[in-house]
Structure 1
């Protein structure tokens, strides 16, 4: 590996379209992973740490034979995720681990690639325990070696896969230029001599979202007047689904635009000075969007040999990558 090359872990997310039989297997795997996680969590709560460590997914299979039908690596990762959750809790980075519930919007499990048990070819994805590959929409080429795959499902209807790959990246050519960036509520980022042609048009989507939310409120009032529970009101549930789709589309649109913007900045500037926001004024873009922008900007700068520098309110400089 050259001096300007390094190995990084990069994730690729794609929409997958499993058959009915494959969907059944994936949903069963979600349940088994959730059951394993919750059982180990209960054991940890009511027993000592030493006693809890003796209970493993392999031991659970003896008592609960249905676990043998699922991917053993998925169960092992459930145990690893629980251990990481407790580590974060003890170090003050998160709250106490909670039980996973069946009614959650998102369900997922992670499996590892061992001797080509996971592969992607010709828009087909092979994962352990499934004999037939799953249809996948690859909107970009996957580079590098697949390390793991995380299968997720939204409301058990829309299925996705996130492939974690190890690949080599090279430093980008130096441009000997710099730019100062700051948060803008309606543009996300403004800066001196910032030239990024594609602006994100969120006004049309915001208008559709407001109309959809108003219709949802009207249908909710209508259901209340008819004394029908919202869970049983079909028109309300249909409109609720439309609102959720618009929210999801808005999030994906922002995410894709931030990816393009950060890559543009990394390619064209060697030093990126970022001004810390003094207040929390928000518009089309929130401070959460700004934080997402910073995270992407920093790890891409680290990959491609560029520098991100924070400017404090007093204009003092602190190097962060």
Structure 2
């Protein structure tokens, strides 16, 4: 099993400068290879259809000597990332690869471990062409390091993610099944097979930090472009945004790990946040919630620990159907938080009823003997 471990790096000034240069070289190679592939494709269309062999990162070094200073494996991995992007495009699972922007793209590069070039010794991690860098190893691991991805945030903070090959986690079965309804009033409403319901409060991290973010943004707007004070204001704003992101991820990681630890079968509704964010009144709150990130974390954590994750079909009427008798009561507006079934007169809390219907969905699949798929079709 391959598992990633992410740690905070504390490089010296010289080491940080080298890491920034290597990140830039990896981005340059990615963009140059993409540009040349597009050119080759256009030339092949204009000629007899014969295609030239795409260049390699090494072929650019005579033309651009600064590439010789970077880690060659970082450049090779940039090419592999582009190859993967094209493979996904031709498979129809992603759009056409786009150029990486210096300001918008994720600042990172990946290098491989070759005979101990990446290792941990005396509280430091060794990286190729950089040497030993101080880092905060807040948790250990057992296994062989396969690769390392160095990344830099907008505020200039460096991290390293070590990909480790290790034995599979021991499978420890859990007792419960749980249905999870996601929302804005409460972030999650969870009901297990003992009919115990818990409502998780929505942390609203962005909303709580909005006043401080506005103040920092206005301070940045008043600074002269290109000045040192503007750079200081930019870093301050970036740090405040990172605090919001870190708080959101901390909340989601703790919640998803708790769900996986306590339940063998997890049922979640499939939401489409991008489409839902077309509602301008709710767009900021939907983006702040992070539903998609929670589902992503549940997917890989369920895989790690031998759990079953069921994603209900987007058209599954978890809110409209009565969890007591199964009668469909029709579409309900968002401001209706409680309702009474016209058939059996059961009174429902909207979110609790939805989580019960999701739980019943898993129970129906198990009782029918159809198995437990990762995602249900229509």
TM-score normalised to the size of structure 1?
Answer: 0.81
Look at both structures and tell me which one has the larger radius of gyration over its CA atoms.
2
CA deviations on 1:23-81 (whole Å, 9 max, x unpaired) are: 22222212322222222122111114875534112222344343222211111111111
Superposed displacement of residue 213, structure 1: 0.4
Residue 247 (structure 1) aligned with residue 241 (structure 2): yes
Asked if structure 2 preserves the Cα contact closer than 8 Å seen for 1:200 and 1:254, the reply is no
CA–CA distance in 1 between the matches of 2:95 and 2:297? 25
Superposed displacement of residue 159, structure 1: 1.3
CA–CA distance in 2 between the matches of 1:287 and 1:202? 7
Aligned to 1:163: 162
Q: Counterparts of 1:1-321 in structure 2 under 5 Å? A: 7=1, 9-48=2-41, 53-104=53-104, 106-130=106-130, 132-155=131-154, 157-192=156-191, 193=196, 201-202=203-204, 206-214=207-215, 216-217=217-218, 220=221, 223=222, 231-232=225-226, 238-277=232-271, 280=276, 286=287, 289-312=290-313, 313-314=316-317, 319-320=373-374
Q: Secondary structure at the match of 1:259?
A: helix
CA–CA distance in 2 between the matches of 1:256 and 1:246? 15
Asked if structure 1 preserves the Cα contact closer than 8 Å seen for 2:187 and 2:202, the reply is no
CA–CA distance in 1 between the matches of 2:266 and 2:257? 12
Superposed displacement of residue 239, structure 1: 4.5
Q: Secondary structure at the match of 2:139?
A: coil
Asked if structure 1 preserves the Cα contact closer than 8 Å seen for 2:187 and 2:289, the reply is no
CA–CA distance in 1 between the matches of 2:231 and 2:73? 37
Q: Structure 1 regions of 5+ residues with no counterpart?
A: 1-6
Distance 1:28 1:167, change over 3 A: same
CA–CA distance in 1 between the matches of 2:100 and 2:179? 43
CA–CA distance in 1 between the matches of 2:187 and 2:216? 29
CA deviations on 1:73-104 (whole Å, 9 max, x unpaired) are: 11111111111122222333333323334444
Q: Secondary structure at the match of 2:58?
A: helix
CA deviations on 1:156-190 (whole Å, 9 max, x unpaired) are: 82211111112223344223321111102144221
Asked if structure 2 preserves the Cα contact closer than 8 Å seen for 1:212 and 1:242, the reply is no
**Which one scores higher on RCO, CA 8 angstroms, separation ≥ 6?**
1
Asked if structure 1 preserves the Cα contact closer than 8 Å seen for 2:176 and 2:265, the reply is yes
Asked if structure 1 preserves the Cα contact closer than 8 Å seen for 2:30 and 2:100, the reply is yes
Distance 1:277 1:155, change over 3 A: closer
Aligned to 2:328: none
Superposed displacement of residue 245, structure 1: 1.7
Q: Secondary structure at the match of 1:97?
A: coil
Aligned to 2:347: none
Aligned to 2:339: none
Asked if structure 2 preserves the Cα contact closer than 8 Å seen for 1:14 and 1:162, the reply is yes
Aligned residue pair count: 304
CA deviations on 1:126-180 (whole Å, 9 max, x unpaired) are: 01112x3011111221332211111112348221111111222334422332111
CA–CA distance in 2 between the matches of 1:320 and 1:66? 47
Q: Structure 2 regions of 5+ residues with no counterpart?
A: 45-49, 277-281, 318-356, 363-371
